[in-house]
A and B are shown apart, each in its own frame.
Chain A
Amino acid sequence: MSTEYEPVIGLEIHVQLKTRTKMFCGCELSFGEEPNTRTCPICLGLPGTLPVTNAQAVQYGIMMGLALGCEIAPRSIFHRKNYFYPDLAKGYQISQYDIPLCLGGRLGDVRIHRIHLEEDAAKLVHVGASGRIHGSEASVVDYNRGGTPLAEIVTEPDLRSAEQARDWLQLLRETLRQLGVSDVNMEEGSLRCDANVSIRPKGTHALGTKTELKNMNSFRYVMQGINAEIARQTALLESGESVTQETLHFDPVSGRISSLRSKEEAHDYRYFPEPDLVPIVPTPEMMAAAEAAIPELPADREARYESDFGIPTDTAHLFAYEPTWGTYFERVAVEGNRDAKAAAIWVTELRTRLGADADPHKSAVVPAQLAALAALVAAKKVTAGSARTVLDKMVETGDHPDRIAEAEGLTVMEDSGELSQIVAKVISENPDVVEKVRGGNAKAMGALVGPIMRETKGRADGGEVNRLLREQLGV
């Protein structure tokens, strides 16, 4: 019998902060400008220059810490991480080491170990056919990115599957996006994820040897990479070999994992306290400003929608991750005397029409009118099908649903005599179906509903149609 293994996963996430300027100089952040146009003597590491800490980055760091329930250090310091590489203008990266800005914390079911601030490296561009360093004709450096503020978030090893890791990373991404501290775009590199992966026999507690999987630049790759590494480690252990602690690269094209050969192999970063900078000592004013800048976050919003509004988890999740729609939903629910389930359904319908990225507050459909539409359906004055047609018109014209339903003749037929005649007509036109139904196949009756709805242009109430059919067919 083979042993069943349990994966143990921790994540290290680098987040590019959306400040106006770089971490330690006044250069504006770069978004695809010409290479080396967003640079100055400081971020180029010219002789004699000194760093100055970006106050906005510190505030974003404190906001992240508060949002994730961390303790904000009363005094944290920067260290120098020393290594030679052309992407590092000074020969060291200014980072935080043993006294980071934020310690402890939690998001969902994953504990946060720490959050610290640092500066990003520049970008190496390898000139040549492949675009990779091996076989390139030359490597050139674009310092635009050098010095961009980064926050590094390190989790405890609390994740137990690749899927869980992906879902949690999505929650973190949404939380950071709504905090407004980062663009959190994995493809563009403003959110980067490394994973520490180990496995152990299920039921045991000792941690296995971990490997570090680098820079997977999409949620899919995070999941694929971790799964591939779990499979690799499982195969190793099952064949009696052991896992080596190393840094690995996941190639999403081949699905293969390879040992990373680069600066990461480097060994001794000779950390020491950065003598050019003073400690970060958050004042009560800084803490209050950070606190005040934090909006309601997705995990809280989702829980509130479920408990206060009683809407289904999926919808609550959707509105929590798209807070503009969430806020709109709340207004519709309030306008509709808190018939929140109906409000959720019609807000979701509106979202399908406008698109998830649209701002419903700017659309022609005001919350009170969407609530009125839900009320029409609840009162059985229009059918659900007709209401969709009414909504199409509302999006187009901004008219009140009552008026649209009236003008378009979409109100439910109140005269059951007229409906009764239509039912009789359809029965008479479909003798073969009628035969099946009378022969005991009740389901065949459904074939008559469609033509009836067509005849009534969708204005008939489904329940009433069924009742009349049964009555007239005598079943």
Chain B
Amino acid sequence: MIELTAKQAADAIRSGDLDANEYFEFYRQRAASDPYNSYTWVAEKAPEIDTRKPFAGVPIAIKDLFCTEGIPSQAGSKILEDYRPPYTATSVDRLTTHAGGTLLGKTNQDEFAMGSSTENSAYGPTLNPWDTSRVPGGSSGGSAAVVAGATAPWSIGTDTGGSIRQPAALTGIVGLKPTYGAISRYGMIAFASSLDQAGPFTRDVTDSAMLLSAMVGADPCDQTSLGLPEPVRIPTANDLKGIRLGVPEELAGEGIEDGVLKAFNDTLELAKSLGATVETTHLPHAPHGLAAYYLIAPAECSSNLARYDGVRYGFRKSGASTLIDMYTQTREAGFGAEVKRRIMLGTYALSSGYYDAYYGRAQKVRTLISQDFKNAWDKFDFIVTPTAPGVAFELGSKTADPLAMYLNDFCTVPMSLAGIPAISIPNGLSEGLPVGFQIAGPAFSENRILDAALALEKAIGFDASKAYA
């Protein structure tokens, strides 16, 4: 059973070759004894399964920050310890109620999705199944680790600046960040509202398309959701004939580890052999992406996290004698260091007198980066880069240096700022650890990205089973 992809399992369940309850119980037991601290909650038994639905009986793991009715949804934070929402996120509801998927568990994450290693969780760090001394990346590290470690056939996470693509790269699986607005954000505990986007973690590109197809759609509860202009197709491409790939010098050269760069260049050769043209290009403003991101995202988070004040729900520090003391003591004890750092950064960036210099200027950079990509689409079908500058790093090695940690998002942040879709697929190993290859396309080009990713996936022939076998 462990060898089956989610699509294969779903097909087998519907054809009667696989027993849905047996399949769910197989993964439930693996999840319950997960050795990587990837889960913060695991289902105790299978719910009733309606085998007429497309994902019937296929267990799915959900990042902790998706609200799930009556089930802990803590966003990796102590301030939401044992918080059980009264409603379920739209995207999760689509996967379970509508598509028939079965909720297997909630996965660990960096607190409020702030981090690149899943070490910023109030519930302990998640370990990388390839090497348990190393991080799985973040912030959706739990959702990446459950797929890499085969304690779930697939999972969903969120990507704000790289939080799906980077952990997918570091754990040797497929992670897709869709176009901003493709999937409803309703019920996703917000980090940075103008950037947050849900997406799938899967073993292969076909599963990614299948999981995505059930998540997308405009939602009356989210005004910024649009869905996709055409249904997501199961990709079929075998080659890259006529595909023009642009390699931005700014994101595929300096600062990238040698082994990662070598794997990247090898794959470019493979792409050529599949019929693609490969050309160096420029995204001149992309190197400013990180700086802009680390103003916009903290600014939005400083406001989004204001509601955690101990008044209505979640953690409240007892013993305060005044309202202000209750607020400050609750937030002091309830938030971790990285969250506090970003709230302070964002509060400062929005302050009167500083707004134009920081938040205002960052928004201008964001517009310029968007324009860089628009210019690129005149010449290229896709922009390709290494997903992360390095392989999975050792636990604790970057926690004392926030800037070194932030550099992990160097190649993924520009696409988030531009709101465009991008996928990370496994691209072989460097130093025995997985490396990711990122393909980004214009808004709403998910189907084409998935086709290109499938063709490359076949050519690369990555073996994911090493991590769980």
Question: Are A45 and B312 in touch, CB under 8 angstroms?
Answer: yes
With both beta carbons as reference points, the residue of chain A lying nearest to B75 in the complex is identified as: A47
Q: Convert A260-277 into 0s and 1s, putting 1 for each residue whose CB lies closer than 8 angstroms to a CB of B.
A: 000000011011100111
Q: Does A49 contact B (CB under 8 A)?
A: yes
Q: In the complex, which residue of chain A has the Cβ closest to the Cβ of B347? A: A270
Is B337 interfacial (CB-CB < 8 Å)? no
Task: Return B218 CB to nearest CB of chain A, in Å.
Answer: 12
Task: Decide yes or no whether A44 CB sits under 8 A from chain B.
Answer: yes
Residues of A within 8 A of B85 (CB): 41, 46-48
* A139 CA to B322 CA, complexed, in Å: 11
Residue of B nearest to A270 (CB): B350
Q: Is the CB of A80 within 8 A of B303?
A: yes
Q: Is A466 an interface residue (CB 8 A)?
A: no
Interface string of A54-89 (1 = CB under 8 A from B): 000000000000000000000000001010101001
Interface centre among B303, B305, B312, B350 (most CB of A within 10 A): B303
Interface residues of A in 262-298 (CB under 8 A from B): 267-268, 270-272, 275-278
With known contacts A48-B187, A49-B186, A84-B327, A278–B303 Cβ distance under 8 A:
no
Q: B88: nearest residue on chain A (CB-CB)?
A: A48
Say yes or no: B190 contacts A48, CB within 8 Å: yes
Q: Evaluate contact between B312 and A272: CB separation under 8 angstroms.
A: no
Q: Which residues of B contact A41 (CB under 8 A)?
A: 85-87
Residue tally, chain A, CB below 8 Å to B: 30
What total of chain B residues lie within 8 Å of the partner, measured CB to CB? 44
Q: Is the CB of B300 within 8 A of A50?
A: no
Contact flags B188-201 to A (C-beta < 8 A → 1, else 0): 11101110000000
Residues from 65 to 90 in B contacting A, C-beta threshold 8 Å: 65-67, 73, 75, 80, 83, 85-87, 89
- Nearest-neighbor residue (CB-CB) of B312 within chain A: A44
In the complex, A275 Cα to B224 Cα: how many Å?
Answer: 8
A46 and B86 within 8 A (CB)? yes
A50-B185 in contact given A41-B87, A86-B311, A91-B307 (Cβ < 8 Å): yes
Cross-chain contact of B306 among A44, A90, A272, A276 (Cβ < 8 A): A90
Q: Does A364 contact B (CB under 8 A)?
A: no
Residue pair B350, A82 in contact (C-beta under 8 Å): yes
- Given the complex, which residues of B lie within 8 Å of A84, measured CB to CB? 306, 309, 327
Partner of A272, one of B65, B80, B359: B359
A86 neighbours in B (Cβ, 8 Å): 309, 311, 323
Provide the residues of chain B in CB contact with A277, threshold 8 Å: 223-224
Say if the beta carbon of B220 comes within 8 Å of chain A: yes
**Is A218 at the interface (CB under 8 A from chain B)?**
no
Which A residues are CB-close (under 8 A) to B223?
50-53, 276-278
> Does B216 reach chain A (CB closer than 8 Å)?
no
Bound-state Cα–Cα, A276 to B307, Å: 15
In the assembled complex, B145 has its CB within 8 A of some CB on chain A: no
Q: Is the CB of B306 within 8 A of A48?
A: no
Closest to A141 in B: B311
Q: Is B468 an interface residue (CB 8 A)?
A: no
A346 contacts the other chain (CB 8 A): no
Q: Which residues does chain A contribute within 8 Å of B327, judged by CB atoms?
A: 84
Q: Is B303's CB under 8 angstroms from A48's CB?
A: no
**A313–chain B nearest beta-carbon distance, Å:** 49
Contact B186 A270, beta carbon cutoff 8 Å: no
Docked pose: A272 CA to B302 CA in angstroms = 11
Q: Is the CB of B80 within 8 A of A47?
A: yes
Is residue B351 within 8 Å, beta carbon to beta carbon, of the partner chain?
yes
Nearest 7 interchain pairs by C-beta: A91-B306, A270-B350, A275-B194, A275-B193, A47-B189, A48-B67, A48-B187
Given A270-B352, A278-B223, 13 additional A-B pairs, CB 8 A: A47-B73, A47-B80, A48-B73, A48-B85, A48-B187, A80-B303, A92-B303, A268-B351, A272-B303, A272-B355, A275-B224, A275-B300, A276-B223
Instruction: List 11 A–B pairs whose Cβ atoms lie within 8 Å, in order of A's numbering.
Output: A47-B73, A47-B85, A48-B186, A48-B189, A50-B221, A52-B223, A84-B309, A86-B311, A91-B309, A92-B303, A275-B194
